[in-house]
Amino acid sequence: MALPVAFFAVFFAYPVAAIVRRGLRVDGAWQFGRFADLLGDQGIRHVLWFTTWQALASTALTLLIALPGAYVLARFDFPGRQVLRAVVTVPFVLPTVVVGTAFLALLGHGGLLDQLWGVRLDTTVWAILLAHVFFNYAVVVRTVGGLWAQLDPRQEEAARMLGASPLTAWRKVTLPALAPAVAAAALIVFLFTFTSFGIVQILGGPAFSTLEVEIYRQTSEIFDLSTAAVLTLVQFAAVGAILAVHAWTVRRRESALKLVDAALTARRPRGAGQWALLAGVLATIALLLLLPLAVLVQRSLTAPGFGYYRALTDPDGGVFLVAPITAIGTSLAYAAAATAIALVIGSLAAAALTRRDAGRLVRGFDALLMLPLGVSAVTVGFGFLIALDKPPLDLRQSWILVPLAQALVGVPFVVRTMLPVLRAVDVRLREAAAVLGASPWRVWREVDLPMVRRALLVAAGFAFAVSLGEFGATVFIARPDNPTLPVAVARLLSRPGDLNYGQAMALSTILMLVCAVALLLLERLRTADRSGEF
């Protein structure tokens, strides 16, 4: 635990504490009165209300749209099912900047709706809600569908034989078993939408602002660190409460259930109703998930002769110090370094959490590992600039600063991926190797590593994808001559002109394709034959 604890203490707790202290301590005196002042401000109360309201609405809408998809992918067997599972997961690993850009191309000025019916939905709450559903659809499908696929269908069939209608049998037998998974998925979606930044920043316009967007505005535009610090603490308290509830629901979900092999529960649709449900889910996926991405690609190709893509090689225009195309190589290099860091830190943390003699403090660290996903990335990024500015930690001019910030987001995914596999390794194998004289390192290399190698590769894929798309912290610390892809897209969108807009669409398409390739490789690792190659 030494290295993971040190990593989070230095590169997470210290920067966040530094910026909060800088904001709340003025001329040697703590400004705790700012809490009452801000909470009494009508504009801040509106931000708090909108943040909570849109998160609740996004969560409800996501569950309503995604639960039928979870059922279809869990219980129906049809050609292309595994490919469809990978397709619905692609939006989740896309950067929020790309998601916002895709919906801007669909709903904004000159978008598909504007061209067909003269309707614009950008800068409206509906654009934000639909983009959140697009982003979080896979959360419900994976979380609820994973459990649904393993529930024994004979329990519901027994209720039917005893006279229950299909709806009654589902409501009294299946729904109670699914309730913990549904609650866990709802809380994860609420967490992501409560801290939404890139989507609201691009689609919300000046009319809508979440806590995360307001922290960014107060920090980078108004330079009011005191207000930003108070809002950071408010968001931190809210996220802590959400994570506490989430941990409770996860424990409930892990309670004993009668589970069977998922391969035994899937069957071909029967009857007109089930075929209609399958068709409806496929249509929803096509319209909600595939159409925005297709429009994004189409808008990037509107210039003749791949003009927007060719323009990416030209640094002229005042937006970048270098050609925008260099952001591709920069992003890949940063993401590779961040993945390596996340794998080391996450693997050590997961290994420590699987020990039977782990104390309560170690088990509590498991919950703390999730905090970087909920705490303001803007705060972390700006905290890096404030805290890591003196020897021996003066990293402001170092390239490693960006991968360190990205690794903070990747570590929770590594831990969550590897922990169940490490816990499944029979401890007697380790003990037998130790009795035969193997050192702890050799036990890990020859016993644990062959069993967790696939999980390690899957964790690397997740960490690489989320590192590639990290925006909130990177926007503060990326150097002007080394922008990442999300930062480059945001800079292009902030400038007027069709050329800048087209280049943003082209860069977003490139970023989408890179993330999609990483996700498809990840799905290949998940579905590979146990006896075959990875």
Pairwise pLDDT comparison (170 vs 288), residue with the higher score: 288
Q: Is the pLDDT of residue 56 over 80?
A: yes
Q: Return the DSSP state at 172.
A: I
Q: How confident is the model at residue 63 (pLDDT cuts 50, 70, 90)?
A: very high
Q: What HEC string does 467-534 produce? A: HHHCCCCHHHHCCCCCCCHHHHHHHHHCCCCHHHHHHHHHHHHHHHHHHHHHHHHHHHHHHCCCCCCC
CA distances from 323 to 70, 206, 283, 397, 482 (A): 43, 30, 40, 21, 10
Output the pLDDT for position 528.
57
Helix (H, G, I), strand (E, B) or coil at 304: coil
Q: How confident is the model at residue 124 (pLDDT cuts 50, 70, 90)?
A: confident
Written as six digits, the tokens of 528 are 């590979």
Q: Is the pLDDT of residue 428 over 90?
A: no
Portion of the chain with pLDDT greater than 70, in percent: 88
Q: Determine contact, residues 136/192, Cβ cutoff 8 Å.
A: yes
In 3D space, the residue among 68, 266, 316, 22 whose CA is nearest the CA of residue 149 turns out to be 266
Q: Is the pLDDT of residue 512 over 60?
A: yes
345-364 mean pLDDT: 74
Written as six digits, the tokens of 296 are 């994004």
Output the pLDDT for position 364.
66
CA dihedral 395, 399, 405, 411 (to 10 degrees): -120
250-276 mean pLDDT: 64
Helix (H, G, I), strand (E, B) or coil at 25: strand
Q: How confident is the model at residue 18 (pLDDT cuts 50, 70, 90)?
A: confident
Q: What HEC string does 205-250 produce? A: HHHCCCHHHHHHHHHHHCCCHHHHHHHHHHHHHHHHHHHHHHHHHH
The residue count of the chain comes to 534
Neighbours of 387 (CB within 10 A): 22
346-354 mean pLDDT: 85
Output the pLDDT for position 529.
41
pLDDT tens, 171-207?
Answer: 787 788 788 778 878 887 888 898 888 888 888 877 7
pLDDT tens, 434-487?
Answer: 888 888 888 877 877 777 777 787 788 778 878 888 887 888 888 888 888 888
Helix (H, G, I), strand (E, B) or coil at 122: coil
Output the pLDDT for position 521.
73
Neighbours of 479 (CB within 10 A): 15
CA atoms of 383 and 21, how far apart (whole Å) = 10
CA atoms of 115 and 171, how far apart (whole Å) = 44
Q: Which helix (H) or strand (E) holds 52?
A: helix 42-75
β-strand pairing of 29-30 with 25-26: antiparallel
Q: Is the pLDDT of residue 65 over 90?
A: yes
Q: Determine contact, residues 362/353, Cβ cutoff 8 Å.
A: yes
Average pLDDT of the chain?
Answer: 80
CA atoms of 490 and 324, how far apart (whole Å) = 12
